[in-house]
Amino acid sequence: MKKIIKIITFLILILVSMLLGVLYFASKPLPVGQKGIKAEALTDKIQIAINQKAWDTTNVVSFTFRGNHHYLWDKKRNLIQVKWDDKKVLYNNKTLEGVAYENDKKLTDSQKTDAINKANDYFNNDSFWLIAPFKLRDSGTTRSIVMQDNQEALMITYASGGSTPGDSYVWLVDENYMPKAWRMWVSIIPIGGLETSWEDWKTFQNNLKIATSHKGLLDLKLENVQIGQSIEEINNGVDPFTEL
């Protein structure tokens, strides 16, 4: 029996070593970018293509991420409702104060805090796949030009914000400056330069453009995307945040 365990352990170690080797050779170093006028000009062109101004004046958003995380987001009031499994959390994403339910039963104390923190982590990750193109000039970002595939690309580095500050993303754009993919250097993925597409762009009111699917190591879908100026407008006339 001990001999079998030793053989299994040895085989596991070999597989782990092979996997680490694959990751090492697949990973690309973070490119060195050049800040300045060219980077800001490319940022301007991307923001015009997706209509940054329309996003900035949109008050509320709803969407479903990968079929099981459901969001109502009041940008203007910094209020978010997150539903997943048997949980429902409503909270202020600036103060992290709010309420939480499990099977429609209100949670209290530490259970509520844990649920709000989990909901906020979900929101930070999931919403980024919806709104990252609109965050090119967020506070704490730096922009630089890098060369990718013999073409200028825009590298955004986040020094702060979200759940994983310090990550870098290189945006690849088409001839109309619409984002078509990004390459990621992020703390939660061991492979540097992993590419994921930005596609299935939908046009909303005021010519606002939002990508609704991504293909790469994992395929991600954003469904039921709606935008508006009030929660009632996109939530059947109901404002769930009245209890906050």
Give the pLDDT confidence of 17-66 residue by residue, as tens digits.
Answer: 333 334 444 688 999 999 999 999 999 999 999 999 999 999 999 999 99
Q: Does residue 46 sit within a domain? A: yes
In this structure, the dihedral spanned by the alpha carbons of residues 31, 32, 38 and 40, taken in order and rounded to 10 degrees, is 80
Range of the domain at 177: 37-243
Q: Does residue 148 sit within a domain? A: yes
Q: What is the pLDDT of residue 117?
A: 97
Q: Does residue 225 sit within a domain? A: yes
| Nearest C-alpha neighbor of 32 from the set 185, 162, 137, 173 | 185
Give the pLDDT confidence of 149-182 residue by residue, as tens digits.
Answer: 999 999 999 986 554 567 999 999 999 999 999 9
Give the pLDDT confidence of 66-83 residue by residue, as tens digits.
Answer: 999 999 999 999 999 999
Q: Does residue 216 sit within a domain? A: yes
Q: Does residue 63 sit within a domain? A: yes
Please give the residue that has the higher pLDDT: either 57 or 4.
57
Q: Does residue 24 sit within a domain? A: no
Q: What is the pLDDT of residue 103?
A: 97
Non-local CB neighbours of 71 within 8 Å, separated by 6+ positions: 61, 62, 63, 64, 65, 80, 81, 82, 83, 123, 126, 127
CATH number of the domain bearing residue 112: 2.50.20
183 in Cβ contact with 27 (< 8 Å): no
Distance of CA 203 to the CA centre of its chain: 19
Q: Does residue 232 sit within a domain? A: yes
Q: Does residue 94 sit within a domain? A: yes
> Is 10's pLDDT higher than 80?
no
Count of structural domains within the chain: 1
Average pLDDT in the chain? 89
Please give the residue that has the higher pLDDT: either 196 or 25.
196
